[in-house]
């Protein structure tokens, strides 16, 4: 990846109900030196109001894109309504994600329909989504080939970035992430301790890493304070903020 360490900042779960939080986050991150980041846009979050029916949010997102940010299709509903689940899946569907792992066991046929519906709505705004990111990064392994056939350049899982532009084989490029869980007091405390430890490790080794943010993060002062301190330190340390698309493009250039 080169001698300059990269920092990918992404804002998850962009939809009308999170617009105010997302805009606050983007403002603070810009002040901290994040010139480019990735917005993960959900077309119909939890089967509620369509993101594309909010003219003000779409206008704002279009403005961010024109200034260098990236817009990525992030699921379609971001929930599991109507899906059945086996007992073995309960950890991922109930504890880890709270019923939001939309593409964890979704059929290929339904997955393709949701991708295409989402991409059509992106296209209606003049947007393009070069990648697809499943909610909670949980994507059935059988869907990777389908993503390639649909023409996506990359996807993202917990372990890193999946390069889908390699012919028949997708390749995982590992890049660790910092992510906070705010669903309960104990989750917030564990997140603060664990992410603090991981951040020091990343910085000491000068390795690429991701900061994956959710709307509620900005509502908890201790969490948001830690995030902003880390971002400022990384920028001062010489990290270059990039979008997922820019990171993937760099991977492609290094393959040649």
Quick one: pLDDT at residue 53? 97
| Residue 162 clears pLDDT 60, i.e. is over it | yes
pTM of the shown model = 0.91
Instruction: Give the helix ranges, DSSP H, for the chain.
Output: 19-31, 55-66, 90, 108-124, 144-149, 185-205, 221-237, 244-255
Least confident of 154-168, 204-218, 229-243: 154-168
Least confident of 41-55, 60-74, 75-89: 75-89
| Residue 124 clears pLDDT 90, i.e. is over it | yes
Bigger pLDDT: 146 vs 78: 146
What domains lie within the chain, and their CATH numbers? 6-255 (3.20.20.370)
| Residue 255 clears pLDDT 70, i.e. is over it | no
| Residue 153 clears pLDDT 70, i.e. is over it | yes
Residue 141, both tokens? 């392994």
Quick one: pLDDT at residue 1? 44
Percent of the chain's residues with pLDDT above 90: 75
Residue 119, both tokens? 């991409």
CA 133, 163, 191, 93 torsion: positive or negative?
positive
């Amino acid at each position: 990846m080169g001698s300059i360490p990269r920092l990918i900042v992404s804002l998850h779960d962009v939809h009308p109900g999170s617009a105010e939080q997302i805009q606050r986050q983007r403002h603070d991150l810009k002040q901290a030196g994040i010139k480019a980041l990735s917005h993960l846009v959900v077309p119909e979050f939890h089967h509620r109001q369509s993101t594309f029916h909010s003219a003000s949010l779409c206008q704002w997102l279009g403005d961010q894109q024109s200034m260098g940010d990236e817009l990525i299709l992030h699921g379609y509903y971001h929930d599991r309504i109507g899906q059945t689940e086996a007992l073995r899946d309960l950890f991922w569907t109930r504890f880890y994600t709270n019923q939001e792992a939309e593409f964890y066991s979704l059929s290929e046929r339904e997955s393709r329909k949701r991708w295409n519906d989402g991409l059509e709505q992106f296209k209606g705004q003049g947007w393009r989504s070069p990648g697809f990111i499943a909610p909670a990064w949980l994507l059935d392994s059988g869907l990777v080939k389908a993503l390639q056939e649909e023409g996506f350049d990359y996807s993202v899982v917990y372990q890193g970035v999946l390069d889908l532009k390699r012919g028949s084989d997708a390749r995982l490029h590992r890049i660790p992430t910092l992510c906070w869980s705010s669903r309960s007091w104990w989750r917030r405390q564990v997140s603060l301790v664990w992410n603090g430890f991981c951040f020091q490790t990343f910085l000491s080794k000068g390795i690429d890493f991701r900061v994956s943010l959710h709307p509620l993060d900005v509502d908890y002062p201790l969490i948001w304070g830690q995030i902003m301190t880390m971002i400022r330190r990384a920028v001062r340390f010489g990290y270059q903020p990039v979008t997922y698309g820019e990171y993937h493009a760099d991977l492609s250039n290094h393959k040649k």
